[in-house]
A and B are shown apart, each in its own frame.
Chain A
Amino acid sequence: MTSEVVIQAHGLTKHFGGLEAVAGIDFEVERGTCVGLLGPNGAGKTTTMRMIMGLTRPSAGTLTVFGHPSSALGKAERARIGLVPQEDTLDPDITVAQNLHVYGRYFGVARAALDERVPQLLAFMHLEEKANAQVMQLSGGMKRRLIVARALIGNPDLVILDEPTTGLDPQARMMIWKRLLALRGERKTLLLTTHYMDEAERLCDRIVIIDGGRVLENGSPRALIRKHVSGHVFELPKPVPEGLDGDGLDVEDIGDAVLVYVDTPEALMHRLGGEAAFHHRPAGLEDVFLRLTGRQLRDS
């Protein structure tokens, strides 16, 4: 099966005055896959998404969406994209169902088609009982679900999600994950940003880690974990037991503690003995992310 490329960025750059928000990035998103764009705050994720949506022009490089330059997308192409923005942009004064109807008209969906589609989407996001509730009365989780439903009103081929589950309880996150996986099952293309590494690991076929406007790494979650961290990580508070460094061990100093990455936990556990205080867990995407982007706090 030949793979279609839905989004292709090559040397993509965006300056704001003197600030280089995106500094020449390359990546591709193939049809039917979910790609995660990860990076600390200010890494250039949202700017990249805005360029894909045609909301801001690239300063240099090329960016094509459905084979067309992103800054010259026609109505037909834009109708194939659904956006789940980071902020709540729902209409607070009208009902849940009215929000979907109004939004559907922006996509040029006929009224008869909306009468059919709106109840389907409400059921898909488990909001059918809230159809006639005012948006103001919804909980945060329900609002997010409605924003996802709204992004699907035009039956898009590409869904762009900017931190879709930030601030939600575990039940609501799980429910949204299931729905996103269902969409991927329908061969829809998903581009996602998130700060939750478990979310990225769970949903994404491929992950692009960016920082300072540059791509640091690009690959499947499993391949990235294999490449950058061993299977297990031990966090040891300082002072560290003697003889651990310079012993061929993968050790990382994180200030008041050190992290030791090992393939198998038994040998190190034996060396640390029963007395030492340590925290042991399997290494994951979060470790990869922190190793690549550093541990200092970001201001923005």
Chain B
Amino acid sequence: MIKLGDVRARLPARLCQPPDVLRGAGAVWRRHLIVWRTMLWASLTSNVFEPLLFLFAFGYGLGAIVGELGGLPYLVFILPGMMAYTAMFAASFEATIGAYARFRLQKTWDAMLATPLSLTEILLGELLWCATKATVAATCVFIVGAAFGGVPSIGGGLLGLLMLVLAALCFGACGHAFLAYAKGWDFFSYVFTFWVTPMFIFSGVFFEVTRFPDPIQLLAWVLPMTHVIAVLRPLTTGQELGWIAILNVLYVAGLAVVAFLVARRRIGQRMFD
């Protein structure tokens, strides 16, 4: 029997310790968790109740009219869209309005920068927190949806939640990139009008993207949400996932990295120069 402790003892010490940057990000993440716990019930209640409202309205109300879409009962069709939308909204909100309050109003980032934490660690911690909140919210939709028979493939749905972790990192990083240029609270109404709402409408939450005319379809595929739903829907519905899903995942991951670098650079200029 090989014991984990023995293996660890033989490895160089630095391999057993998380790198500094992750430890710092972890401390930031932990702070958000402690603050969030004080409003846990309000947060969880809205996470569960809101998707219930949506599912009731769309699954039963609209579903009764639509019947089937893409060969699927409407509830089954719309559920992955709702999961993705919930994650996208939660991550975008946390990375813009939530983070801006910590950046400007409560000066939480200033307090953090007066410690050994670096700005990269702070932003990484913020991003991990976005992903955490978004994944918790999407999981609530998943559980509620599954309870109403909206998830034919539970295994696929669980895999889909992993995809949503990546998606939330991407939406969070994009939110931080917007925040980096925000001069005041008003700025975020642009973010919601020109970024969040279009993804709600054009990315295939309610119906397939292919129903749009070509130029609109092209626009839709620029939005990361379209790629997220393209991967998520086959997973929860148990349909076959094509090789092109790799490109969808790469697009979302690549955008996450680019947005993170833009945010890190611009916020650094704002705070240090």
Contact = CB atoms under 8 A, between A and B. Distances in A.
Contact of B106 (A85, A91, A105): A91
Nearest to B112: A106
B31 interface: yes
A102 B125 CA distance: 13
A108 B114 contact: no
B34 A79 contact: no
A76 B113 CA distance: 14
A53 B117 CA distance: 12
B7 to A, nearest CB: 24
A56 B30 contact: no
Nearest to A103: B115
A286 B83 CA distance: 65
A20 B82 CA distance: 54
Contact of A85 (B27, B35, B111): B111
A98 interface: yes
A184 interface: no
Interface in A72-116: 75-76, 78-79, 81, 83, 85, 87-94, 98, 102-103, 105-108
B273 A56 contact: yes
Contacts of B272: 55-57
Given A91-B31, A108-B23, A78 B115 contact: yes
Contacts of B112: 106
A78 B116 contact: yes
Contacts of A88: 107
A98 to B, nearest CB: 6
Contact of B38 (A16, A94, A154): A94
B105 to A, nearest CB: 10
Interface string B1-43: 0000000000000000000100110011011001100110000
A53 B38 CA distance: 32
Contacts of B31: 91, 102, 105-106
B113 A55 contact: yes
A108 B38 contact: no
B273 A108 contact: no
Contacts, number: 71
B110 interface: yes
Contacts of B39: 93
Contacts of B108: 89, 91
Contacts of B28: 106
Given A56-B272, A56-B273, A91 B35 contact: yes
Contacts of B273: 16, 56-57
Interface in B37-66: 38-39
A65 to B, nearest CB: 13
A59 B31 CA distance: 34
A207 B24 CA distance: 36
B115 A89 contact: no
A16 B273 CA distance: 8
Contact of B30 (A75, A85, A90, A105): A105
Contact of A103 (B20, B106, B107, B111): B111
A81 B273 CA distance: 21
B23 A55 contact: no
A75 B20 contact: yes
A105 B27 contact: yes
Nearest to B110: A89
A260 B34 CA distance: 60
B247 interface: no
Of the listed residues B28, B113, B114, the one surrounded by the most CB atoms of chain A closer than 10 A to its CB is B114
Given A53-B114, A85-B110, A87-B110, A102 B30 contact: yes
Contacts of B271: 55
Contacts of A53: 113-114
A191 B150 CA distance: 63
A25 B106 CA distance: 32
Interface in A95-140: 98, 102-103, 105-108
Nearest to A105: B27
A93 B110 contact: no
B30 A87 contact: no
Given A94-B34, A102-B34, A83 B116 contact: no
Contacts of A98: 34
16 contacts: A53-B113, A56-B273, A57-B273, A76-B116, A85-B107, A85-B111, A87-B107, A87-B110, A89-B107, A89-B108, A91-B31, A91-B111, A94-B38, A102-B34, A106-B112, A108-B23
Given A89-B108, A106-B24, 19 more contacts: A16-B273, A55-B114, A55-B272, A56-B273, A57-B272, A75-B116, A81-B114, A83-B114, A87-B107, A89-B106, A91-B108, A92-B106, A93-B39, A94-B35, A102-B27, A102-B31, A103-B111, A106-B27, A154-B115
Closest 9 A/B residue pairs (Cβ): A89-B111, A106-B115, A83-B114, A105-B27, A89-B107, A78-B116, A75-B116, A102-B31, A79-B116
Interface of A: 16, 53, 55-57, 75-76, 78-79, 81, 83, 85, 87-94, 98, 102-103, 105-108, 154
